Chain A
């Protein structure tokens, strides 16, 4: 049986839930903390560097819109102010140590992390809006 698209009452619940996080609807976290889904990990054999991509949401938004809901529904999540965090090249040891895992074997797509960031002007690791790829190209 096909999945039935959400009905109006279902959407209504999530509208209410989402509004709980409206004061935190900006994508950037005031505390620089993000819930981060490890979406892609690829080893470049030619450089022996890993390319890593997370889909992240601000900790404050998650706390208010996702975790603090008075109504817990086992249902797909509300629309979120998601961002992408991309590390285009990192060596294995640095990656393992940075993520606090015991082995590269546990750097697994599908994992969730709580990450704390700091700005690093001029660095290579970018935090950007996912729809940046829908912008007009030069």
Chain B
């Protein structure tokens, strides 16, 4: 059996024994919102408690170390106050980038004198699990002959990353490309050892607690700290619903002069995002929650688009080379729920407007989706996978 650190597949294994050691819970903080903490399980959760916990003793040091260590910020460290950002131009469009089964959105500025626009922020930098890398377009499949990769930085070297939450298919491109030299803003959530290894490579980071007050993001956007509003909170929905969401002011539809809002939530349900009144009334564009999932209320409690406007919705999901939708996304019931809520102008990264249609022909229009103005990016990015937008939601 090989036992070195060369990246490889070590083969197939089954689980023969399992013991739940720690389970997440939402813990209010005296200041700066809430946080997801890890606590020992009870007999409500598991049939086999760790012995010291069963005996009613204190947490063994092993668990205490796990409980306190695998966070971006531990209990004894302070989370960041929100960063103060330099002024950036209004957003002309939001890119929903084709990264296969994952999420990666891009905030695009106003076109300059040459008629082309620069970019200034990512919201998520996702990449599929290894099992689903065949869902990537060739230009994004690292190590492939056609790999071009994402935009590594903008012209002013101020490109930043806002991470919705610590989910592999939302952060992994940061390690692949890599994008760890950019400034990152992310939520304080429990992380695993692979994510922790990546986290340690970030040169410039801000960490935000769940449920804190909203703060200003790039392009006059507003960043919301998500927190579940259902009581009691199902533990299985905590990680997806304690991250960061983004509300971006934008002219959409472009046929009208009014500035509206595109709301990006990553995998968080809409009722976990404490949206302000102005956003709620003016939403005209969204991304489908959790790639079009229907689990844990992802397609429920949807907000309606602004009055008399067909809502624009972009789905980010991946189809593998054998034709399978990774995780079955988007779920048909979820697609119907969005339509019923008024989000009727839809496009997707995997199939363009042919969402959930069968066959290879339905994938002919796969590619990046642009919500807002149909703007051309600077020629400097022509050699990247993010240069063009075959799908438009204007």
Contact = CB atoms under 8 A, between A and B. Distances in A.
Main secondary structure of the interface of B (DSSP, over half): mixed
A115 B19 CA distance: 7
B236 A41 contact: yes
B327 A110 contact: no
Interface in A3-57: 3, 5-6, 25-28, 32, 35, 37, 39-47, 51, 53-57
A82 B200 CA distance: 14
Contacts of A56: 193
Interface stretch (B77-85, B149-157, B218-226, B338-346): B77-85
Nearest to B64: A72
A55 B129 CA distance: 12
A1 B81 contact: yes
A26 B328 CA distance: 35
Contacts of B73: 3
B360 interface: no
B196 A76 contact: yes
Contact of A111 (B2, B5, B24): B24
Given A37-B192, A74-B77, A82-B193, A116 B71 contact: no
Given A2-B204, A37-B70, A129 B6 contact: yes
A120 interface: yes
B23 interface: yes
B235 interface: yes
Contact of B45 (A88, A106, A115, A123): A106
**Which interface residue of A3, A110, A120, A121 has the most chain B CB atoms within 10 A?**
A110
Contacts of B36: 110
Interface size class of B (residues with CB under 8 A): 35 or more
A124 B15 CA distance: 12
Main secondary structure of the interface of A (DSSP, over half): mixed
A26 to B, nearest CB: 4
Interface string A80-110: 1111111010000000001111101111111
A75 interface: yes
**Which interface residue of B45, B73, B193 has the most chain A CB atoms within 10 A?**
B193
B276 interface: no
A106 B235 contact: yes
A11 B89 CA distance: 39
B169 to A, nearest CB: 8
Contacts of A57: 193
A76 B195 CA distance: 11
B129 A86 contact: yes
Interface string A124-138: 111111111111110
Nearest to A88: B131
B350 to A, nearest CB: 15
A34 B148 CA distance: 36
Contact of B13 (A27, A66, A72, A127): A127
B62 A106 contact: no
B16 A118 contact: yes
A122 B11 CA distance: 8
A74 B10 CA distance: 33
Interface in B21-41: 21-24, 36, 38, 41
A26 B63 CA distance: 22
Given A106-B235, A129-B7, A76 B327 contact: no
Contact of A45 (B13, B76, B294): B294
Given A28-B1, A98-B15, A100-B48, A47 B328 contact: yes
Contacts of B62: 62-63, 67
A133 B20 contact: no
B54 to A, nearest CB: 13
Nearest to A3: B205
Given A110-B24, A134-B142, 8 more contacts: A42-B293, A44-B328, A46-B325, A75-B69, A77-B69, A105-B234, A110-B235, A121-B12
24 contacts: A26-B3, A37-B70, A39-B168, A42-B327, A45-B328, A45-B332, A53-B168, A55-B194, A72-B65, A76-B72, A83-B194, A101-B20, A102-B44, A109-B167, A109-B236, A109-B238, A112-B22, A125-B12, A125-B13, A132-B130, A134-B7, A134-B142, A134-B143, A137-B141
Interface of A: 1-3, 5-6, 25-28, 32, 35, 37, 39-47, 51, 53-57, 62-63, 66-67, 72, 74-77, 79-86, 88, 98-102, 104-137
